[in-house]
Amino acid sequence: MNKKNGTQLENAYVAAHQIKSPVASLHTILQTMLGGFAGELSQQQKHLLQGADKKCYEALDTIQGLLSLKRVQEQSTTGEEITDLAAVLHSLHSKFADSAAEKGIEFRFEQKAEHAYTALEENLLREAFSALLHNAIKYTPESGRIALHLWVSEQKDEVLVKIADSGIGVPPEEHQKLFTPFFRASNAKKQEPEGTGLGLAFVKAVIEGGGGSISAGESELGGTEFSLSLPKKAAPEKTEKDDTQEPSMRVVVIGGVAAGPKIAAKIKRLDPNADVTIVEKGRILSYAGCGLPFYISGVVDDQKELISTPEGVLKGLDYFQRVKNVNVLNQTEAVEIDRANKKVRVKKLISGEEQWLPYDKLALATGAIPKMLDVPGATLQNIFTLHGFEHAEGLKEHMAEKRAKDVVIVGGGLIGVEMTESLVSAGARVTLIEMESHILPNLLDPDMSNLVQRHFETQGVRVLTGTRVTGFTGNGKVETVKTGGRELPADMVIIGTGVRANTGLAKAAGLEIGASGGLKTDSHMCTSDPDIYAAGDCVETRFLITDKPTYLPLGSTANKQGRIAAENICGGQSHFPGIVRTSICKVFDYTVANAGLTEQRASEEGYETIFSITPGLDRSHFMPGANMLIIKLLAEAKTGRILGIQAVGPGEIAKRVDVAVVALTAKMSADQVSSLDLCYAPSYSEALDNLHVAANVLKNKIDGYMEGIHPVEVRKKLDEGKDILLLDVRTYSEFNEARIEESLHIPINALRGRISELPAGKEIIVLSRVSLSAYEASIILKANGFKDVKVMDGGITMWPTSRISK
């Protein structure tokens, strides 16, 4: 480096030190404003602040790069420490494999030496090779290749490494300049305008500081190849000091079940030298909580199935300690977080012994706690929640011995609904109580919920909606449930009124709590403390439809968030974007699922909506096993953007809702959904899938080809004596099986010949079994001069049973 460049770099170091603190403060202020903590922002204000915050982030990145380079240059990187580069590269290959896979990149690691010792600090080696691998993935296009080679030259006593990629490459005349501070290859700047140009300068300083060398050239794969050599050292002698070697970082994870164990296991895969400890209050560390209803019902015979891997290995303490190398403190409660001194006070519940656990990074996975009813008698025996193995065992015991004859479920949400089939199968008389106007109020609109309620009633379940529990009575054990002026007999009660985020520990530590009641994190799963992360049922997340905070505890979300938190604890930059509130449950032989907004919620959010209700078979009608499913698809009236889906029925629903989830996430319109190239074979769907049909009905409504009317509105018109004609165009056999008393029956194949029977000038509402024939009939009527013609959404399938004659 010449004297002029050296002087410029030295001046840059001085400037970096001086501006680091004010830039970091500005970044914090901007983050606070963007988080809405200083008042609501307009879209324009938010956009401007986001731009400023981005520039702050870039500045901090440059500052950090300069300071890291200065640190390496000022200190000797060689010393007494001997590091196994083979172990470091093996760990980094695992760390970057996921990032490569996301781009479809083949990332191969060829290791020709079991160990490759060199005299460099492990953290410096990790940082240097992380920079090289990060660049390789960044500048390699999708479906490309990266090859990492490690071998040892015994003749020259060298450890040799090559990193080759099939990326954009570097112009040959720029190879030597790559390691100059602030220099970036010309083609790299075109692809990625943002960058500091300090990463490779840092790598060179580390490698040369360790007595090695690095060079760049053209790769056999077509991109760039970095060749590195480091002096080979003898394997360190085994000493007592080795057994007490300082870990790369200390991580304490509070909470088990799903998110906590996921965080711990992923950290150990990314950084085997990290010291990770899980603190879990319960006896069982990790289990499939969503499987508890199936364990209670007997579908899952042994509780071991819920705490095992797919290969049948029990995920107990021994598994995490021996296989994952994670420290586990079960039946231990975390009682205090000392953020200033970065330590957690824990208490062993059996002995009462307390201790402080120091941490570099802390992860909260404290889960959720059930909402209990604050009414008289709520502490009587045989009142359970479905929360944890202890309550599950109590429920299973009562059901197995058939001691519970009359069971009341309080709460018509997912928890209550999922337990109903198990109780009925055990021979219990079941009453389901919901204080809202319909069951599954967070998943379904009243019209779709009514279908589920009807199905419950056909299975012998009594459903009481709009009903509030006021107390319980009994002599030690529950005997009756009070609901206003009514008392219901009950040998057992299940409280399924939902859960709330368990944030007591976080709140006491001064961490930010979100608007939905869950712990607030950014997309990296980092809390308001940069050294504390959180995941799972204790956190709120972003609802992608409205871009607002939401709270929906699910095992699937907990596992995804746990993985993201772990990656970022290990220095990554992974993001969790949010959810579209997807839910699914089994109701006897029905499936009930939803994603996105309901019509009711969309109205509350200020959307002007349009919907389609389309019953149909889940496969071609001539195939054995074809079953009905009913889809309600919701869209924004002006744009056609899909806002939500609800589905009910015995047919195959999950795959239709999963496709809709992709459409919701991608903000697709009904027009785009109607053209999706979905799988088709008669065994799996009609030529136009149920989702295609639902989207096409929306399109017809948006384009003005069809005017729908909800069955509830039709019923209201009839009850009010409105002068309308309800025209049923189904076949004779369908009409004789079930019909609406006030309807006029003309089969669609006879409609053109009997058109003169219809009165001119009257509002005509056409219905059929699944609305398809009704739509065809409406076209015929309009073509013959009838102006006021509507199609009843969902056909007779959606009509209340109380007004159907058989």
- What is the set of active-site residues? 290
DSSP 37-62: TT----HHHHHHHHHHHHHHHHHHHH
Helix (H, G, I), strand (E, B) or coil at 308: strand
Q: What is the 3-state secondary structure (H, E, C) of 752-768?
A: HHHHHHCCCCCEEEEEC
Alpha carbons 386 and 372: distance in angstroms, whole number: 12
DSSP 423-459: HHHTT-EEEEEESSSSSSTTT--HHHHHHHHHHHHHT
CB 487 within 8 A of CB 480: yes
Alpha carbons 54 and 187: distance in angstroms, whole number: 23
Amino acid making up residue 389: F
Give Cα separations from 170 to 178, 184, 185, 220 (angstroms).
9, 10, 6, 13
DSSP 18-37: HHHHHHHHHHHHHHHHHTTT
Alpha carbons 174 and 196: distance in angstroms, whole number: 17
Between helices 259-270 and 85-102, what is the axis angle to 10°? Answer: 120
Q: Are strands 471-473 and 480-483 parallel, antiparallel or unpaired?
A: antiparallel
Amino acid making up residue 374: D
Alpha carbons 517 and 580: distance in angstroms, whole number: 18
Please, what is the Cα angle at 671 between 666 and 674, to 5 degrees?
90
Helix (H, G, I), strand (E, B) or coil at 504: helix
Please, what is the Cα angle at 333 between 332 and 334, to 5 degrees?
125
Would you give the DSSP letter of residue 148? E
Q: Exposure of 513 by Cβ count < 10 A (0-12 exposed, 13-18 middle, 19+ buried)?
A: middle
Nearest to 538 by CA among 365, 309, 353, 293: 365
The span from the first CA to the last CA of the chain, in angstroms, equals 94
Tokens standing for residue 64: 């950090």
Ramachandran class of 222: left when φ > 0, alpha when ψ lies in -120 to 50, beta otherwise: left
Give Cα separations from 774 to 651, 654, 751 (angstroms).
23, 27, 11
Q: Exposure of 734 by Cβ count < 10 A (0-12 exposed, 13-18 middle, 19+ buried)?
A: middle
Tokens standing for residue 509: 């530590």
Residues in Cβ contact with 41 at an 8 Å cutoff, skipping those fewer than 6 apart: 33, 34, 49
Torsion angles phi and psi, residue 584, rounded to 5: -150, 145
Alpha carbons 696 and 631: distance in angstroms, whole number: 12
CB 526 within 8 A of CB 533: yes
Tokens standing for residue 100: 């490569």
Give Cα separations from 189 to 139, 193, 221, 290 (angstroms).
11, 5, 21, 48
Tokens standing for residue 528: 């308001």
